Structure 1
Amino acid sequence: MNSRRDFLQKLTASAIAIPFLSSANAWDQPVNLVRNPDGPVLRVALMGLGGYASIVAKAMQDCKRAKITGLISGTPSKLSEWGTKYNVPEKSRYNYENFDDIKNNPDIDVVYVTTPNALHHDQVIRVARAGKHAISEKPMALNAKEGQEMVDACSEAGVKLLVGYRMHFEPKTLEVIRMRNADEFGKILFFQGLSGFRIGDPNQWRLNKALAGGGSLMDIGIYSINGARYMVNEEPIWVTAQETKTDTVKFKEGVDETIQFQLGFPSGAVASCLSTYNMNYLDRFFLNGEKGFAELQPSTGYGPIKGRTNKGALTQPHVTHQTLQMDAMAGIILDGDSPVVAVDGAEGVKDLKIIDAIYAACASGKRHELNL
């Protein structure tokens, strides 16, 4: 795909299907059901009213169990425009200086942080200290140390910390996981993850190390990192990595253009992945086992995901990912549901530990051991 952002205009309203581990026959349910459609509604404040927040906001209009009740932005005109569009009263609109006052707002349960990566750490900790649950976009921080501090702050405050892993609720992805859990692929031997696109505006924050924490790996590459873990169903124990940079003007020091990385798992399975900001049409997962295979292509774009296995095409209907995600997160926060693939802060820290190790392996040229 040219860009994950190529899908901005392709979101479509659809029904909702959220399988959970706690529902034994969830896989056989019709697509237009949520686990607990009559349960309480999650009241969400969106922080950072940029491009991705607009996607989440649009998708949430089709949620059964989540609604927008608060807004946080540094741009007054956005607060006014979004407040009118989504019927959020002025008393529930905040800027980055005063959003700690959400502690006194009973109409907000959780804050969804969609600001640049470098801001997540401090903003999530402030949300936790205000007594509200937090959802952080991925990566949840610049490194594992920051991520763990966020987890600890939320734990100390008695609130939940979730990460915006939308693919953990995507129907075709979950069908591959179901098949793997049912041993339909046999022993897993290999995973390949290709995540990349040619990035545009050289002045955007994603190419600013201070805001992004890196380059392609911190944006698109995390999909292959996380995907390797949930597709193989093991935690990697070692990593090797190599960085390639062809444009040192666009991709300055500390901003990676292309990284290839390899992961090893306790069972002997291996993963070979690529993350890039300089190649289009890279959005593919491939899982190989002794008895079968699964391929998703596109695998992580906004949709529709397409896939096949050795048994044929995957035919689960496309559902807007963020609609699924937010209804599922309502169940997690309000009902204590357990998703098929974890989306909590601990999950986010594991990905950050791998990212730290990939960067270290690029610098050293050596294999780095992992202990997740």
Structure 2
Amino acid sequence: MTRSFQTRREFVTTTAAGVGAALAGASTARPLRAAAPYQTGRQIGFAVAGIGNLATNRVLPALRATRLARPTGLITGSPERVMPLATEYGIPPDSIYTYDDMDRMRDDPSIHAVYVVTPNGLHRDHTVNAARAGKHVLCEKPMAVSVTECEEMIAACDEAGVKLAVGYRLQFEAHHLECIRLAREKAFGALTMIEAGFGFRIGDPSQWRLRMDLAGGGPLMDVGIYALQACRYLTGEEPVEVVAFASKTDPVKFAEVEESLVWQMGFPGGCLGSCSTSYNLSGMNRFRAYGPRGWCGLEPAYGYGGIKGHRSDGAPLDFPHMDHFVTQIDDFAQCILEDRQSKVDGMEGLRDMRVIEAIYESARTGQPVGLQS
């Protein structure tokens, strides 16, 4: 989720006020039985929560293109506005839900899972409500806006006996997987340093991404998390210490969230990660992993298409483009069908959020922050 969308902002205006009340009711409900097992060859029906640009232009088309999944429901604050979309995807009116009546999905056998594509600050609420309706959950990144919320989401899914995964689409992308292989096999020696950054110039100052209550933070939560992820999966380790610095050149536009942020991380094996993110620049979309005998990297690294690989030895690092949403949805559907955990499960989202909270603490205090290994 890397851009702002009018339809999602309109959704926030009409629905955010009612979510807290809906969750309060759900928190006292009895947990449902575990989801029923699935037969080999069966497709997993997904309801999509949050019908903005990302859902309309990426998620729903991907669901139609997958082998193991299909779109079977919509969850929205404005049911009347999504009727044309429902017709396009063959979704019947009785499989269109609002955020206040997600509990009704427990009686909808066509829906097995929910893909949560709402603003960050609502991920916890919608995930918990979907789990209490007995549905598996694929939640867009960031998983939530705090460690506590991540823990609550994991607990709710565990209690309901449903699976939880986070939308880390690049962990299924061929260029990223090849860089992980090169790093883990020490093709250029043991990693000594990783440089990673992702940023863009954000537009409309009234959008939800600039509101702390809905975004949970600025570019770190939105796109900087890709750089953090790259460092974690290239090393295969968790950082033990972070130090960060945030700055603003436009304190009016960025009154609630950071404008730009840089941070460094130390890893147990000795590798250092140097990362940056911003909502007020263009052209930052890369990572490079260095060892004593060379490097590999991607630039562009994180977009929906056009990823390009580079190696210091000139060897090719090129793969055909695959729709990232198709590959991640098919993987989650297969996890459901085979009753196994996703490699990007709730714990993966929680690990990112622990580091993100440490980064914000360091930026606020000006001091390094240690993390438990």
Tell me if TM exceeds 0.5.
yes
TM alignment of 1:20-59, pairs within 5 A:
39-54=41-56, 55-59=58-62
What is the aligned partner in structure 2 of residue 184 from structure 1? Answer: 187
Deviation at 1:100, TM superposition (A): 1.1
What is the aligned partner in structure 2 of residue 344 from structure 1? Answer: 345
Deviation at 1:289, TM superposition (A): 1.4
Deviation at 1:66, TM superposition (A): 1.1
Deviations 1:9-59 (A, max 9, x none): xxxxxxxxxxxxxxxxxxxxxxxxxxxxx7321111000000111111122
Alpha-carbon distance in 2 for matches of 1:227, 1:181: 13
Secondary structure of 2:336's counterpart equals helix
Pair 1:361 & 2:365 matched: no
Deviations 1:187-233 (A, max 9, x none): 11111111100000101100111111111111011111111100121
Deviation at 1:237, TM superposition (A): 0.4
- Which fold has the larger relative contact order, with Cα–Cα distance below 8 Å and residues 6 or more apart in sequence? 1
TM alignment of 1:41-190, pairs within 5 A:
41-54=43-56, 55-190=58-193
Q: Is the 8 A contact 2:79 2:96 kept in 1?
A: no
Deviations 1:93-139 (A, max 9, x none): 10111111111111111101110111111111111111111111111
Secondary structure of 1:188's counterpart equals coil
Identity of counterpart residues, as a percentage?
44
The correspondence for 2:307, drawn from 280, 283, 305, is 305
TM alignment of 1:297-336, pairs within 5 A:
297-311=299-313, 312-336=315-339
Higher deviation after alignment, 143-152 or 54-63: 54-63
Alpha-carbon distance in 2 for matches of 1:283, 1:5: 14
Alpha-carbon distance in 1 for matches of 2:138, 2:80: 24
Q: Is the 8 A contact 1:294 1:308 kept in 2?
A: yes
Secondary structure of 1:305's counterpart equals coil
Q: Give the counterpart letter for 2:68 in structure 1.
A: R
Alpha-carbon distance in 2 for matches of 1:177, 1:202: 37
What is the aligned partner in structure 2 of residue 236 from structure 1? Answer: 239
Pair 1:292 & 2:316 matched: no
CA 154–337 in structure 1, closer or farther in 2 if over 3 Å, else same: closer
The correspondence for 2:225, drawn from 216, 222, 247, is 222
What is the aligned partner in structure 2 of residue 261 from structure 1? Answer: 263
Secondary structure of 2:65's counterpart equals coil
Alpha-carbon distance in 2 for matches of 1:336, 1:192: 37
What is the aligned partner in structure 2 of residue 12 from structure 1? Answer: none
Alpha-carbon distance in 1 for matches of 2:317, 2:248: 37
Runs of 4+ in 1 over 3 A off after TM superposition: 3-6, 336-339
CA root-mean-square deviation: 1.6
What is the aligned partner in structure 2 of residue 198 from structure 1? Answer: 201
Q: Give the counterpart letter for 1:356 in structure 2.
A: E
Alpha-carbon distance in 2 for matches of 1:171, 1:145: 33
Deviation at 1:315, TM superposition (A): 1.7
Alpha-carbon distance in 2 for matches of 1:209, 1:219: 12
Q: Give the counterpart letter for 1:142 in structure 2.
A: V
What is the aligned partner in structure 2 of residue 29 from structure 1? Answer: none
Alpha-carbon distance in 2 for matches of 1:183, 1:332: 30
Deviation at 1:157, TM superposition (A): 1.1
Alpha-carbon distance in 2 for matches of 1:90, 1:365: 53
Secondary structure of 1:284's counterpart equals strand
Q: Is the 8 A contact 1:128 1:134 kept in 2?
A: yes
CA 78–343 in structure 1, closer or farther in 2 if over 3 Å, else same: farther
Deviation at 1:356, TM superposition (A): 0.6
Secondary structure of 1:195's counterpart equals strand
Pair 1:370 & 2:371 matched: yes
Q: How many residues align?
A: 336
Deviations 1:292-325 (A, max 9, x none): 3111001111112111123423121011111111
Deviations 1:326-371 (A, max 9, x none): 11111122224566xx210000001111111111001110000012
Q: Is the 8 A contact 1:120 1:141 kept in 2?
A: yes
What is the aligned partner in structure 2 of residue 20 from structure 1? Answer: none
CA 84–103 in structure 1, closer or farther in 2 if over 3 Å, else same: same
Q: Is the 8 A contact 1:66 1:326 kept in 2?
A: yes
Deviation at 1:265, TM superposition (A): 0.3
Alpha-carbon distance in 2 for matches of 1:292, 1:333: 40
Alpha-carbon distance in 1 for matches of 2:171, 2:101: 33
Alpha-carbon distance in 1 for matches of 2:341, 2:130: 23
Relative to the length of structure 1, the TM-score reads 0.87
Q: Is the 8 A contact 1:49 1:78 kept in 2?
A: no
Deviation at 1:5, TM superposition (A): 4.4
Unaligned runs of 5+ in 2: 5-39
Secondary structure of 1:175's counterpart equals helix
Deviation at 1:77, TM superposition (A): 3.0
What is the aligned partner in structure 1 of residue 28 from structure 2? Answer: none
Secondary structure of 1:295's counterpart equals strand
